[in-house]
Amino acid sequence: MVFLVVLFCSLFVQCCAEGEQNASNKKARNDSTIVTNASDTQIPLGTKALIIAYPHFVKGYKNNNLLLADGSQMQYDDGREKSFAEKLDDADPEDMFAFTYKRTGEEPEYLQDAGRSRCEALFKMMYGESETVVRQKLVQVEWFGEKVLFTPVNGAADSLRAVVKELKDHPELKPYLKSSGTFNWRKVRGANRQSAHSYGMTIDIGVSQSDYWLWKNPGKKETDKIVYTNRMPTELVNIFERHGFIWGGRWYHYDTMHFEFRPEILIYDTSKHQV
């Protein structure tokens, strides 16, 4: 997958410790330099991740704005302090990096839901602003005896095909692969934000072997402490992550059937560990 090559070869050669990065972020937001090179250290780490993950849409950064391919700009950080719920319901691009995506065997930490925060304007700009527009772009991907609909935008469908190719070498994972849905234009249950399934870059698999935080913790609110559980194998998760998909099992509000094409989250996570 192209983004992984880019990720490991060129991105964070100049990456500094996070504290230093924060300092440079503040500087970058106040200067007037147009930056179109993602290796430049003078732009926020999150913007670099977006430029590398979505090169056909996010071209650069200037004065706290993402420079988009159509010539328009999108505010990166609205500067507002947000509650946990607001980071999910009213996310700007910067909020998408507010949580830690931990690629370890540890359980997710309290309220760490990296990837559940999505800037809706950015995703609608990339994948389509309506059900009709997203649907028109979808292509079929062969998925273990099924055909699933997926978006080719940002290389998502090709990334899913690469996942299939690798999974074919792991017959022991076959029992977990039955798809229970990809594209579905809908709001998140109980919320007013668009589900990731609306954009055609998300797949749910292995429902009968999966766990969802509300099934295990009925009646709990999102800010309540909950019990974690997972039955999905690590190797399955690793294969998806190698091709740009995040896993809902890494969320405090876990959804272990859920795999979502979000290369920017993985790039950001990797960059934080490269010093």
Q: Which residues bind Zn ion (CB under 5 A)?
A: 204, 258
| Closest separation in Å from C-beta 255 to Zn ion | 6
| Residue (12 or 247) nearer to Zn ion, CB | 247
Minimal distance in Å, beta carbon 248 to Zn ion? Answer: 6
Beta carbon nearer to Zn ion, 92 or 113: 113
Crossing angle for the helix pair 263-272 and 2-9, nearest 10 degrees? 20
Nearer to Zn ion, 181 or 233 (CB): 181
Distance of alpha carbon 264 from alpha carbon 103, whole angstroms: 14
Alpha-carbon dihedral sign for residues 130, 133, 137, 141: positive
The residue among 62 and 243 lying less far from Zn ion, judged by its C-beta, is 243
List the beta strands (DSSP E) in 10-145.
58-62, 65-68, 73-75, 139-143
Distance CA 84, CA 212 (A): 19
Q: Least CB distance from residue 29 to Zn ion, whole Å?
A: 34
Shortest CB 193 distance to Zn ion, Å: 14
Which residue type is seen at 221?
A: K
Measured distance CA(177)–CA(206) in Å, rounded: 5
